Amino acid sequence: QVQLDESGGGLVQAGESLRLSCVASIRTFTGYTMAWFRQAPGKDRELVASLRWNGGIAYYLDSVKGRFTISRGNAQNTVSLQMNSLKPEDTAVYFCAARLTARAEYDNWGQGIQVTVSS
C-alpha cells in the first residue's frame, strides 16, 4: 500500500490559482499512473487529471482543460496539480490517487484536501 499526502489546498477567489502537491511513501512513481480526483458535496467523485509516469501521457476532464496541469514534481515521488483561473464550480475535496499502470483501478488514495473557490 502506498501512502499519499496532499497539500496546497485552501480558499481563493474566482480567477486565482492554487497548486496541489502529493507526496508518496515510495521512492518513485515509476510504473504508476497518478491522478487527481475531486468530489463536491452531493456529487460523485470525478477524475480531474491523470498522468502515466512512464511516457508522460496525460488526461484531463473537459471542464479543466487549459486551466489545470498535472505534472511531476522535482522528486520522483511527487506529483502536482496546477490550477489556474479557478471557478466556484471547482470547489471540492481533491484526492491524490495512484495505481500501477497495469491495473485498472486506483487502489491508493490520499486523505483529501479542501479547495474552495469563492465568487
Residues 6+ apart with CB under 8 A from 8: 18, 19, 20, 21, 113
pLDDT reading at 76 higher than 90: no
Q: Tens digits of per-residue pLDDT, 3-21?
A: 999 999 999 999 999 999 9
DSSP category for residue 110: B
> What number of other Cβ atoms are within 10 A of residue 63's Cβ?
13
Q: Where are the alpha helices (DSSP H) in 67-108?
A: none
Q: Tens digits of per-residue pLDDT, 21-64?
A: 999 998 888 899 999 999 999 999 999 999 998 888 899 999 99
CA separation for the pair 53, 28 (Å, rounded): 9
